[in-house]
Amino acid sequence: MIAIPSIPGFLREPNGPIGKPVNRVDGRKKVTGDAHYAAEFTLPDLAHGCIVSSAIARGRITRIDTAAALALPGVIHIFTHENRPSLAWFDRKWKDDDAPKGSPFRPLYDAEIHHALQPVALVIAESFELARYAARLVHIEYEVAPHQTNLRANRANTFTPGKDKGGFQPPPKPRGNPEQAFLDSPVQVDVEFTQAAEYHNPMEMHATTVLHHDDGTLTVHDKTQGAQNCHTYVCNVFGLPKSAVRVMSPFVGGAFGSGLRPQHQLFMAMLAATQLKRSVRVELSRPQMFSFGHRPETIQRVALGADRDGTLRALIHEAVQESSRNENYVEIVVNWSGQQYTCDNVRLDYKLSRLDVHTPQDQRAPGAATGVPALEIAMDELACKLGMDPVELRLKNYAETDPNTGNPFSSKELRACFQHGAERFGWAKRTPAPRSMREGRELIGWGMAAGVWDAMQGQAAAKAVLGVDGKLVVSSATADIGTGTYTVMTQIAADVLGLPIEEVTFCLGDSSLPTAPIEGGSWTVSTVGSAVKAVCDRVRSQLVTLAGKLDNSPLKGVAEADVLFADGHLIVRNDRSRRLSITDVMRGSGTLSIEEEARALPYLLARARHTFATHSAVFVEVRVDEDLGTIRVARVVSAIAAGRIINPKTARSQIQGAVVWGIGMGLEEEAFTDHRLGRVMNHDYAEYHVPVNADVPEIDVLFVEEHDDMVNALGAKGVGEIGIVGVPAAIANAIHHATGVRVRDFPITLDKVLAGLR
Amino acid sequence: MRSFTYARADSAADAVGRAGASGTAFVAGGTNLLDLMKADVVHPERLVDISRLPLDRIEDTAEGGLRLGALARNADTAYDERVQTRYPMLSKAILAGASAQLRNMATNGGNLLQRTRCYYFYDTATPCNKREPGSGCGAIGGVNRIHAILGASDQCIAVHPSDLCVALAALEAVVQVTGPEGERSIPFAEFHRLPGDRPEIDTVLRPGDLITAIDLPAKGFAEHSTYLKIRDRASYAFALVSVAAGLEMDGGTVRDARLALGGVAHKPWRDPEAEAALIGKPATPDQFRGAARVLLRDAKGHEHNSFKIELAERAIVRALTEAAERKGAPRP
């Protein structure tokens, strides 16, 4: 057991806001239109940019004729690789906090075309409509080179990446003798899975507004999950002093990973603003949202060998994914398969195939959302072959410690997820045979799957300013991409200092605030929440010290650990009549404000010796029309183990949203690439399908009790991604239960079911 | 932006008069045209706004049918009590399409004239004979999940995206048109074209023609009809296959039959031979399947859409079965 710093008073007050379903503190701003997004800021002389996208997938530009566009009155300038200014030379200047190994894409750098829809010119005009029209008049001639965009055709042309991206470890070395153990197993499953490329498609399209101030400084309103990441990037690329630029992103209309890296609209808006010395906005069109970053297409093989009692003897999981020519995007995909179940003979293998595409990009539960469903469908197939209940099979092989490392889990209440989820769903009433449940022409299927995601923590700093009026402002340069960061950070601060929620303001989305990492990986509560707690603890100590020094103080000589904070007061724990209000302490001591800054680190020793993960069990009912193959998800129960839930309301919304994502991944989302053109063709909301309201049933979310002293000072793990991980597999398994048709190719569209119903 | 002129027509004759010049387009609800203009797919030089013309009424006809004004909104049409009672398949078809917001804006005449949703038609960096004659068809040999299995040509395999039109085809509606050469009536089956070697032309309308109304005959198959739409998600998606089915029943025997398919061809697909195969026959799944096979006898799939052939067969059987079982008009 690792020694954990004590947590004085904190979380011991049952009436504090932590754990309460507090409404979003930014809710009113959002519903009244008072929350402003990147493309909504303006100055009187704002110029508008429109990006011209490449018509080819690979080759080079031989000629750009901008004369017709420039001839239009009101067109200010057209940037191309031919007239761009000198930019940073070294790759490291173009790197960002989420960049994988390789050479980052440089917009307008040279004549080379690396992928379809690559930005090749930027038209700046006095109005958006004019810029868009002028962009169409830019005449570009290309020398076309052959391209490869088809992963299936290039699946053998692979290499094994290393530790090429933060947050992802290469697969562990094989253990035991998996090939022989598989051959020796009396019950075997050996199957291949394919997963289509998916695009993030946040509702708000990527946009940047650069406001050029009279003193030459720039305020950059960008759609990003990391204001400081973008700040460093633009300063490096354009050679600007840090003080000359401030990047803001107080509100982000969804991102799901698409805002983890600086995207090219940021570069474009900065290029124009710095060159033209005026304010500029560049917003991508919906088709251009398919010009960067996506969840990569994947081909996987899962082979499971088991004894007749269900004991796993062999587990082999191989994955091939696409990456670009210029960077090694990795999400490993297979590692969770070695972690989820006890098995002595395991081989995990992960390879990349380089295609002529833009670099893929982390998308909600990157890797796990792709790899875990493959494992969980294979487990379902194994259960079918064994004649065993799918939940029983998972319990039979339940990993009490992490088989990949041998380390214990900091906490793992997956067993409780299975139990409570199954109870809520009514799993016991399931008849195991496929096609055994129906209502009229609808075949009913009940399927389940487990999920897992990492409980990561980074480093962050936070600042707190407590005013004499008892109002607290806490800040950190993190982001709120709709997840509820504003709200939970407010709750944590209010809890530590015993303040009403209304007295606390949390500021984020501003590169000038204390350091915070990009908001991703479900680590923000853990990372930034710990910093908020740390800084508020310091304010708390100061208040106790100040209170003790006051004349006739009822807190004189009371140790900090014996003081609790509630209702805006400092209260002696074992004699609650002895109390002082925070404002009285401030006034009495002549303190106008208390300012503190603190940095929080993960518990590195604990982290080195434990595995930290969130878990889920997902139960799904589908209805499949037996003649037409149409699939409807009728109900979902998702049981989540994620440590302490800071806000059950925003956490539930996270899980529900992720289940909707899982429905999309399971049934609908797919980028169709025309491999002759190397181009995604369904690049709009009409034809790239995400679930609509009518696709989404009642989603029942349970949070099981999970106590964790090691994960961080809050005991909370983060819930942004775990909700999606099990869902596609549970849907696939339910479809099999309904129809007897096993589809291993996501998304499961009706034609794939129909083919099996014949 | 690309310049165009805008004029508001104050009468149908005025609209027709203004539309004589080439490069002129009428605009009413604008739900398709404005999108296409923004996407640089179409670029009219002159817009004539007809949205204020008094063509938005729904009226009984002397023949016992119903006249749907060209400018009546899709939503107003779908929720019109006479439409719901006498032509329930039409109401159901309209409500299966688009979204509530779009149906509130879109007009009936505009619905007939909406363009295909083929990916290549919308992406100006790719070939499309419909958008740019002679440039080739991107969908043939490309991505063609949503494309035609009937009546296509080697120039174009796009489908007409409308739901409403499929019901109108089954009901044998008549399109009333006024144009430079006066008024004329176009039977619905003749209104939309097959692509052939002129896929850029969707309908038989001539320059300056204005749709004024759509006439529904008295026979609405209200007792035994349905509209079945199969798509990749439960709402806000175009049909992979849709079926408008209307039967007249005499006990268990089919006395008259109408069958039209959407999502399968460049126009709502009707086949008199398939309908003939039903008439006088018992209303059984086998008979329905037989008719479906007649209708699909020349169906041809491409790499991604071959499943539509079997799906269409199953959908026809389901729709006819539902229509045969149905008693009376459903009240939404």
Query: Contact, B225 vs B109, CB < 8 A?
Result: no
Query: Distance from B40 to chain A by nearest Cα, in Å?
Result: 8
Tokens encoding B205: 């309308």
Interface of A with B (CB under 8 A): 53, 55, 127, 129-130, 132-133, 136, 287, 627-630, 632, 667-668, 672-674, 676-677, 679, 681-684, 686-687, 689, 691-695, 749-751, 754-755, 758
Query: Distance from A48 to chain B by nearest Cα, in Å?
Result: 12
B233/A668 Cβ within 8 A: yes
B230/A681 Cβ within 8 A: no
Q: Catalytic annotation on A327?
A: no
A750/B234 Cβ within 8 A: no
Backbone angles phi, psi at A125, to 5 degrees: -140, 175
Q: Give pLDDT tens digits for A722-739.
A: 999 999 999 999 999 999
Query: 3-state class of A347 per DSSP?
Result: strand
In this prediction, residue B21 carries a pLDDT of 84
Tokens encoding B227: 């509209």
The band of A5, judged by pLDDT with boundaries at 50, 70 and 90, is very low
- Comparing alpha-carbon positions, the chain B residue that sits nearest to A134 is B1
Query: Distance from A677 to chain B by nearest Cα, in Å?
Result: 8
A689/B237 Cβ within 8 A: yes
A691/B1 Cβ within 8 A: no
- Chain A residues within an 8 Å CB radius of B146: 687
Phi-psi region of A738 (alpha: psi -120 to 50; beta: other; left: phi over 0): alpha
Looking at chain B from residue 31 to 50, which residues have their Cβ under 8 Å from any Cβ of chain A?
Answer: 38, 40
- Chain A residues within an 8 Å CB radius of B238: 686
Residues of chain A with CATH 3.30.365.10: 27-35+458-601, 393-456+608-757
Nearest to B106 by CA among B78, B67, B86, B146: B78
Give exposure, A665-687, as e/b (b: 16+ Cβ within 10 Å): bbbbbbbbbbbebbbbbbbbeeb
The band of B2, judged by pLDDT with boundaries at 50, 70 and 90, is confident
Nearest to B262 by CA among B78, B90, B29: B90
Phi-psi region of A185 (alpha: psi -120 to 50; beta: other; left: phi over 0): beta
Name the amino acid, one letter, at A212.
H
How would you classify the pairing of strands B225-230 and B210-216?
unpaired
> Which fold, A27-35+458-601?
Aldehyde Oxidoreductase; domain 4 (3.30.365)
Query: Distance from B176 to chain A by nearest Cα, in Å?
Result: 31
Query: Distance from B63 to chain A by nearest Cα, in Å?
Result: 39
Mutate to test the interface with B, among A50, A133, A442, A628 (most CBs of B within 10 A): A628
B232/A668 Cβ within 8 A: yes
Rounded to whole angstroms, the Cα distance separating A64 from A422 reads 62
Residues of chain B with CATH 3.30.390.50: 225-325
Name the amino acid, one letter, at A551.
D
B233/A750 Cβ within 8 A: no
Is the confidence at residue A12, as pLDDT, over 70? no
In this prediction, residue A419 carries a pLDDT of 98
Average pLDDT over residues A35-44: 95
Alpha helices in A550-682 (DSSP H): 582-588, 604-609, 648-663
Tokens encoding B261: 């398919």
Query: Mean pLDDT score of chain A, rounded to an integer?
Result: 96
B238/A682 Cβ within 8 A: no
The band of B327, judged by pLDDT with boundaries at 50, 70 and 90, is low
Query: 3-state class of B310 per DSSP?
Result: helix
- DSSP code of residue A667: I
Query: Contact, A16 vs A495, CB < 8 A?
Result: yes
Residues of chain B with CATH 3.30.43.10: 5-51
A53/B126 Cβ within 8 A: no
- DSSP code of residue A611: B
How would you classify the pairing of strands A119-125 and A75-79?
antiparallel
The residues, any chain, with a CB within 8 Å of residue A429's CB and separated by 6 or more, are none
Query: Which whole-number Å values give the CA distances from B179 to B150, B183, B185, in the listed order?
Result: 31, 6, 11
Tokens encoding B319: 């729709």
Q: Give pLDDT tens digits for A437-488.
A: 999 999 999 999 999 999 999 999 999 999 999 999 999 999 999 999 999 9
Query: 3-state class of B99 per DSSP?
Result: coil
- Comparing alpha-carbon positions, the chain A residue that sits nearest to B322 is A441
Query: Distance from B120 to chain A by nearest Cα, in Å?
Result: 7
In this prediction, residue A758 carries a pLDDT of 76
Q: Give pLDDT tens digits for B18-27.
A: 998 889 999 9
Return the CATH architecture of domain A393-456+608-757. Answer: 2-Layer Sandwich (3.30)
The band of B149, judged by pLDDT with boundaries at 50, 70 and 90, is very high
- CA A749 to chain centroid, in Å, comes to 25
Mutate to test the interface with B, among A751, A754, A758 (most CBs of B within 10 A): A751
B238/A686 Cβ within 8 A: yes
Query: Contact, B235 vs B252, CB < 8 A?
Result: no
CA angle A553, A558, A562 (to 5 degrees): 130
- Which residues, in sequence order, are bridge partners of residue A510? A248
Mutate to test the interface with B, among A133, A442, A677, A745 (most CBs of B within 10 A): A677
Q: Give pLDDT tens digits for B210-240.
A: 999 999 999 999 999 999 999 999 999 999 9
Indicate the helix (H) or strand (E) that contains A723.
helix A722-725
- Comparing alpha-carbon positions, the chain A residue that sits nearest to B316 is A628
SS (H, E, C) A411-446: CCCHHHHHHHHHHHHCHHHCCCCCCCCEECCEEEEE
Per this entry, what is the length of chain B? 332
Residue that is written with structure tokens 């500029």 in the block? A280
- Comparing alpha-carbon positions, the chain B residue that sits nearest to A694 is B234
B143/A681 Cβ within 8 A: yes
Q: Give pLDDT tens digits for A594-630.
A: 999 999 999 999 999 999 999 999 999 999 999 999 9
Rounded to whole angstroms, the Cα distance separating A523 from A642 reads 12
Is the confidence at residue A13, as pLDDT, over 80? no
In this prediction, residue B326 carries a pLDDT of 74
Indicate the helix (H) or strand (E) that contains A580.
strand A579-581
- Which residues, in sequence order, are bridge partners of residue A624? A443, A631
The residues, any chain, with a CB within 8 Å of residue A139's CB and separated by 6 or more, are A63, A64, A65, A66, A68
- Comparing alpha-carbon positions, the chain B residue that sits nearest to A690 is B233
Percent of chain B with pLDDT over 70: 98
- Chain A residues within an 8 Å CB radius of B1: 127, 129-130, 132-133
Residue B146 near chain A (CB below 8 Å):
yes
A754/B307 Cβ within 8 A: yes
> Which fold, B5-51?
3.30.43
Rounded to whole angstroms, the Cα distance separating A665 from A688 reads 12
Rounded to whole angstroms, the Cα distance separating B245 from B241 reads 13
User: Torsion over CA of B228, B232, B233 and B234, rounded to 10 degrees?
Assistant: 10
- Chain A residues within an 8 Å CB radius of B125: 53, 55, 679
Q: Give pLDDT tens digits for B167-215.
A: 999 999 999 999 999 999 999 999 999 999 999 999 999 999 999 999 9
Query: Which whole-number Å values give the CA distances from B37 to A38, A54, A379, B102, B199, in the listed order?
Result: 26, 21, 51, 17, 19
Query: Which whole-number Å values give the CA distances from A724 to A168, A479, A623, B272, in the listed order?
Result: 19, 21, 20, 49
A750/B232 Cβ within 8 A: yes
Q: How many CB pairs under 8 A join A and B?
A: 90
- Chain A residues within an 8 Å CB radius of B310: 754, 758
Alpha helices in A253-389 (DSSP H): 264-276, 335-340, 368-386
Per this entry, what is the length of chain A? 758
Rounded to whole angstroms, the Cα distance separating A119 from A471 reads 47
Percent of chain A with pLDDT over 90: 97
Backbone angles phi, psi at A545, to 5 degrees: -60, -50
Rounded to whole angstroms, the Cα distance separating B310 from B300 reads 11
Least confident among A327-336, A388-397, A414-423, B322-331: B322-331
In this prediction, residue A14 carries a pLDDT of 60
Query: Mean pLDDT score of chain B, rounded to an integer?
Result: 96
Q: Which candidate from A53, A674, A689 shows the least CB-CB separation from B138?
A: A674
Query: Distance from B218 to chain A by nearest Cα, in Å?
Result: 32
Is the confidence at residue B249, as pLDDT, over 90? yes
Query: 3-state class of A368 per DSSP?
Result: helix
- Comparing alpha-carbon positions, the chain B residue that sits nearest to A629 is B311
- Which residues, in sequence order, are bridge partners of residue A354? A323
Q: Which candidate from A130, A287, A692 shows the least CB-CB separation from B234?
A: A692
- Comparing alpha-carbon positions, the chain A residue that sits nearest to B235 is A694
Nearest to A503 by CA among A545, A466, A531, A541: A466
B235/A694 Cβ within 8 A: yes
Q: Give pLDDT tens digits for A524-546.
A: 999 999 999 999 999 999 999 99
Average pLDDT over residues A707-729: 96
A629/B232 Cβ within 8 A: no
Phi-psi region of A326 (alpha: psi -120 to 50; beta: other; left: phi over 0): alpha
- DSSP code of residue A486: H
- DSSP code of residue B297: T
Angle between helices A524-549 and A485-497 (to 10 degrees): 30
Query: Contact, B216 vs B68, CB < 8 A?
Result: yes
- Which residues, in sequence order, are bridge partners of residue A101? A328
> Which fold, B225-325?
Enolase-like; domain 1 (3.30.390)
- Say if residue A179 is exposed, middle or buried (CB neighbours under 10 Å; 0-12, 13-18, 19+): middle
Query: Contact, A93 vs A157, CB < 8 A?
Result: no
- Comparing alpha-carbon positions, the chain B residue that sits nearest to A687 is B237
User: Torsion over CA of A368, A175, A171 and A351, rounded to 10 degrees?
Assistant: -100
Residue B119 near chain A (CB below 8 Å):
yes
Is the confidence at residue B331, as pLDDT, over 90? no
Is the confidence at residue B329, as pLDDT, over 70? no
B311/A751 Cβ within 8 A: yes
Tokens encoding A741: 């048709």
Query: 3-state class of A406 per DSSP?
Result: coil
- Chain A residues within an 8 Å CB radius of B315: 628
